[in-house]
Structure 1
């Protein structure tokens, strides 16, 4: 995964994150793919609600150009 430095993360607009609280950065396709993988893992472990998971999937697909 491509890592963001703290300065890079801080410079991102709120719209570059899938969830409120600046969670799940998705500024590019690499991060969007990683967000999908991590969200699936956390959702299956019960650490993300269905709504949060669906939001991450929707927003990540937008970044990947997979709008439905």
Structure 2
């Protein structure tokens, strides 16, 4: 997995995140794939709502389709 430093994450625009609160950064394909995996985990653990999960999936797929 590609890692973002705190400075790199802070430099990303809000539009590079799948959810409000700057959650699930998806600036590139690697992060989009990771967001899909993490969101699935969090949904099954009960830490994400179905609506939040659907948003992450849609945003990640948009990044993946554009690459």
CA separation in 1, counterparts of 2:10 and 2:54?
25
CA separation in 2, counterparts of 1:19 and 1:56?
7
What TM-score comes out, normalization by structure 1 length? 0.95
Equivalent pairs counted in the alignment come to: 66
Shift of 1:48: 0.1
RMSD over equivalenced CA pairs, Å:
0.9
Q: Does 1:62 align with 2:47?
A: no
Structure with bigger helix share is 2
What TM-score comes out, normalization by structure 2 length? 0.96
Which stretches of structure 1, 4 residues or longer, exceed 6 Å deviation after superposition? none
- In structure 2, runs of 5+ residues without a counterpart are none
